[in-house]
């Protein structure tokens, strides 16, 4: 039996109904997907966002520390975009819909 090995982590800003959140809504939490070498979702984690003025800086640090390499987003503000890029997190913009469907679509593209 082969063991799935972690290939990457993908973050998606998520609303309560498992839809992607956009920049005009507060990103209350992120769903972090652990992806295997076989491009399958191995696990997921929820990361709640802090509610303070340095939220963009803190969330970028937290995601980087968790090993996130990619973020799927709808639209994103410039400050958060710069912070994520400075932490080497690649942004894929103009995404919409169910977060699970988005990740599956990204993995099969």
> For the chain, what percentages of helix, strand and coil (3-state, to nearest 5) are there?
30, 30, 40
Q: Is 84 within 8 Å of 58 (Cβ atoms)?
A: no
Q: Which domains does the chain have, with CATH numbers?
A: 6-108 (3.30.420.130)
Q: What is the DSSP letter of 96?
A: -
Rounded to two decimals, the pTM is 0.89
Q: What is the pLDDT of residues 38-95, one digit of tens each?
A: 999 999 999 988 766 557 778 889 999 999 999 999 988 888 899 999 999 999 999 9
For residues 3 and 38, give the distance between their C-alpha atoms in angstroms, rounded to a whole number: 11
Q: List Cβ neighbours of 98 (8 Å cut-off, separation of 6 or more).
A: 18, 19, 20
- Other CB atoms closer than 10 Å to residue 12's CB: what's the count? 28
For residues 11 and 13, give the distance between their C-alpha atoms in angstroms, rounded to a whole number: 7
């Amino acid at each position: 039996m082969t063991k799935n090995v972690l290939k990457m982590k993908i973050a998606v800003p998520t609303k309560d109904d498992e839809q992607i959140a956009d920049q005009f809504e507060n990103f209350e939490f992120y769903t972090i997907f652990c992806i295997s070498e076989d491009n399958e979702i191995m696990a997921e984690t929820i990361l709640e966002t802090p509610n303070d003025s340095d939220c963009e800086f803190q969330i970028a640090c937290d995601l980087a520390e968790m090993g996130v390499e990619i973020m799927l987003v709808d639209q994103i503000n410039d400050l958060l975009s710069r912070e994520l890029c400075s932490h080497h997190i690649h942004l894929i913009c103009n995404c919409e819909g169910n977060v699970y469907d988005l990740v599956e679509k990204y993995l099969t593209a």
